[in-house]
Amino acid sequence: MLKLNSHPSGRHFLQIPGPSTVPDRILRAMDYPTIDHRGPEFQALGKKVLASIRTIFKTNNPVVIYPSSGTGAWEAAMVNTLSAGDNILMYETGHFASLWKKLADKLALKAELIPGDWRHGVDAAQIEARLKADTQHIIKAVCVVHNETSTGVTSNIAAVRAAIDHAGHPALLLVDTISGLGSADYRHDEWGVDVTISGSQKGLMLPPGLGFNAISAKALEASTHSTLPKAYWGWEEILASNEKGFWPYTPATNLLYGLSEACDMLLEEGLDKVFARHERHGEAARRAVRGWGLEVLCLNQDEYSPVLTAIVMPDDGKGGRHDADAFRKVVLENFNMSLGQGLGKVSGWVFRIGHLGDFNDLTLLGSLAGIEAGLIKAGVPHRAGGVQAAIEYLAGTAGR
């Protein structure tokens, strides 16, 4: 029998890179009766969240909010801007980029995936070269993942924009920042992104269930002649309803209460401070990993994710690596902490620490202590002192 109410004392540490821990303030904000989604009270809420979310995406353009997971918002971005059989260019940063390509295949788009090693971000020079070779402008969109949650690598979106511009190519730029929004610096307008895709359950600190499309004027124009079938996902009706603060169907009212609170929290702290906090925790986590004598999966220090750190398990001396999932099981069963599993190609030999959202120095140190204790308990070879290295870094940079 599933025992949902068994209660080990103390809080569960949910250190997967999404869903992230939902802060009490957001839980309280959602704990209200659901209201009439066509009434005046809802209208005020709708107008507020639609305005606030733009500041989080750093855009003056519309942001559509779906009752959906991030995957739904991926699909929405494509069906609204592209037509059957369109060629698109994607980049294999990791598992999520690969899943997005599979989704494009199912929509019968002709997706070309530039291969990657899952340890680096997008190489903008390769995008530029491929677009320059496309003199007929057959490629309709470039689709990249900003924060690749499977590898802990963050790509430089401004460089991708510059690559498209240098190639003089008219392709749209579609960017997934499902795990980056609200924790890693992101600028929809400044970076000239046409559709930015995100979700609620990562940096925004909400439960799963909201998907987002931030839309440029160029993407909106493309949507008027895109022919992929769209009904539920179609921007046109939603944007028309949103004008008045409403949705054409029943929105996820209680998640919108939460979204309103989440935006307030991020803006009260200030986005720059939020991003600096995440950068600092990322650095402390990497110092712990190196202190243990283990390896960070990301190989380019300019591309370290502030959201999560993926760690390579050490050699087992038998030609393989220690089992990351057996290690995670030890940590869960003994210390009540969930760590992210290795996904896709890195499954079984990589684990991930989420250090995003509602997170502070002690949450990080608690997570790292649980990992160090787990390494001992699971018999995974490592050096002592990882937690100590993180403590020293955090103490030395406290108050910054």
Contacting residues toward ligand PLP, per CB under 6 A: 18, 69-71, 96, 145, 149, 176, 178-179, 199, 208
User: By three-state DSSP, how is residue 177 classified?
Assistant: coil
The residue number whose beta carbon is nearest to ligand PLP equals 70
Q: Between residues 127 and 145, which has the closer beta carbon with respect to ligand PLP?
A: 145
Half-sphere exposure of 140 (CA within 13 A, CB side): 20
Residue closest to 63 by CA, chosen among 196, 204, 193, 247:
196
Q: In which element (H, E) is residue 165 found?
A: helix 157-166
CA distances from 171 to 99, 134, 225 (A): 21, 10, 15
Q: Between residues 18 and 370, which has the closer beta carbon with respect to ligand PLP?
A: 18
CB of 71 to ligand PLP, least distance (A): 3
**N residues, the chain:** 400
Burial of 192 (0-12, 13-18, 19+ CB in 10 A): middle
For residue 33, give the amino acid letter.
P
Question: How far is 85 from 82, CA to CA, in rounded Å?
Answer: 9
Q: Between residues 71 and 338, which has the closer beta carbon with respect to ligand PLP?
A: 71
Q: Between residues 256 and 394, which has the closer beta carbon with respect to ligand PLP?
A: 256
The residue written with tokens 């001396």 in the block is 317
Q: Between residues 21 and 149, which has the closer beta carbon with respect to ligand PLP?
A: 149
Q: Between residues 65 and 131, which has the closer beta carbon with respect to ligand PLP?
A: 65
Tokens for 203, please give them.
Answer: 């940096």
CB of 247 to ligand PLP, least distance (A): 19
Residues in CB range of 153: below 8 A, 6 or more apart: 93, 94, 118, 119, 120, 121, 147, 297, 298, 300, 303, 304, 305
CB of 199 to ligand PLP, least distance (A): 4
CB of 328 to ligand PLP, least distance (A): 18
CB of 149 to ligand PLP, least distance (A): 3
User: Hey, which residues does 337 pair with through a beta bridge?
Assistant: 13
Q: Between residues 18 and 374, which has the closer beta carbon with respect to ligand PLP?
A: 18
CB of 74 to ligand PLP, least distance (A): 7
Q: Between residues 354 and 374, which has the closer beta carbon with respect to ligand PLP?
A: 354
Question: How far is 359 from 282, CA to CA, in rounded Å?
Answer: 11
CB of 205 to ligand PLP, least distance (A): 14
CB of 145 to ligand PLP, least distance (A): 5
Question: How far is 107 from 74, CA to CA, in rounded Å?
Answer: 11
Q: Per-residue b/e over 193-206, b at no fewer than 16 CB within 10 Å?
A: bbbbbbbbbbbbbb
